[in-house]
Amino acid sequence: MKSLFSGCSVVVVGDVMVDHYIWGDASRISPEAPVPVVHVHKEEYRPGGAANVAANVVGLGGEADLIAFYGKDFGGNILEALAKKYMYNFDKSIVVEGFKTIRKTRVVARAQQVVRVDWEEKLILDGAKEEILWQRLSNKPSACRVLVISDYGKGMIGDQRAAKLIHWARERNMDVVIDPKPPAKKGYCGATVVTPNRKEAEIMSGESIDTLLDAERVASKLRQELELEALFLTLGGDGMMLATEDGCAHYPALEQEVYDVSGAGDTVVACVALSIAAGLDYHVASQLAMITAGVAVSKVGTAVVHWEDVLKTKEWNTLRETISKG
């Protein structure tokens, strides 16, 4: 079946990184220290951060243009190769000399993560690099209806740049979907949609979320404070709370075994952005986001969800009937 998102185009701006996986088995403890000895079977590189958002957009049947700064190094070469593999557009001319591309290495033994090692430094954009960002944005196709801001707090976004990006998009009648990173918050005001997880929402609101009533109150509060059309609050195993001008609605998570939550938020952002680009309402977008997130967490490691994965779920058959009825 043709994807609902076929022909939908999204621009993604944000922090990119390489997710590096080392897969193996651990059957004994090292004589040198009380740590497992991992016998390596293979290693793998996957797109991370904003790059994972772009890869999921394409996987779900849309088109993605990724704008992000990265280093002219081994990690940068990997990012360029991943763009070709996952078929999203990635401008290779916006490298930062001397900057080390962020890389997160996870050692996984028998589907269990043993340790994670991060190579990263905060990106600092000078005036010249800032100008390049706006030039690249201005060259993007006018058919792009949605701008995704993927803020991982690594220096690409932040309050001031987020506010400028929202203003830029609004001038072009584009919707803006933000995957937030506290403590940044003020710069998100005026976006179309923000998609915090439980912890992020707690930090942004200054309130704890222990029950669904807490989630409803916090989601409504943040939506009003940030002047959003909608706020999608992801709650892990408790599903999602959607807050709109009409009130709140809760959507439960799929009942299935969870292997890894890494990157599930990226999948949700990609799905919500594509749903907006396709003209779907927020309630349908929430249900689609729950389906795609369920697929993502059923896989080990940061995963790209494909439209074919959605079609295989029993929840899709029910939702398809809802969509066909208009």
Give me the catalytic one of 19, 175, 266, 309: 266
Strands of the chain, DSSP E: 9-14, 16-29, 36-49, 63-67, 70-71, 89-90, 95-96, 103-109, 112-119, 146-150, 175-179, 193-194, 230-234, 240-244, 247-251
Distance CA 218, CA 241 (A): 10
β-pairing, 36-49 with 16-29? Answer: antiparallel
Q: What's residue 292's pLDDT?
A: 95
Q: What's residue 259's pLDDT?
A: 56
Sheet holding 175-179, edge to edge: 89-90, 63-67, 9-14, 146-150, 175-179, 193-194, 230-234, 240-244, 247-251
> Measured between alpha carbons, how far is residue 317 from residues 83, 144, 255, 297, 306 in Å?
32, 29, 16, 20, 16
DSSP category for residue 197: B
Q: What's residue 125's pLDDT?
A: 85
Strands of 144-190, DSSP E: 146-150, 175-179
Neighbours of 135 (CB within 10 A): 11
Residue 266: active-site member: yes
Per-residue pLDDT of the chain (326 residues; tens, 9 = 90+): 799 999 999 999 999 999 999 999 998 999 999 999 999 999 999 999 999 999 999 999 999 999 999 999 999 999 999 999 999 999 766 888 889 999 999 999 988 899 999 999 889 888 888 899 999 998 877 778 999 999 999 999 988 999 999 999 999 999 999 999 998 899 999 999 999 999 999 999 999 999 999 999 999 999 999 999 999 999 998 999 999 999 999 999 887 665 557 778 999 999 999 999 999 999 999 999 999 999 998 887 788 999 999 999 999 988 998 887 66
Q: What's residue 3's pLDDT?
A: 96
Distance CA 153, CA 177 (A): 16
Distance CA 209, CA 18 (A): 31
pTM over 0.85: yes
Question: Is the distance from CB of 304 to CB of 86 less than 8 angstroms?
Answer: yes
Distance CA 232, CA 266 (A): 13
Distance CA 225, CA 44 (A): 42
Q: What's residue 258's pLDDT?
A: 57
Q: What's residue 257's pLDDT?
A: 60
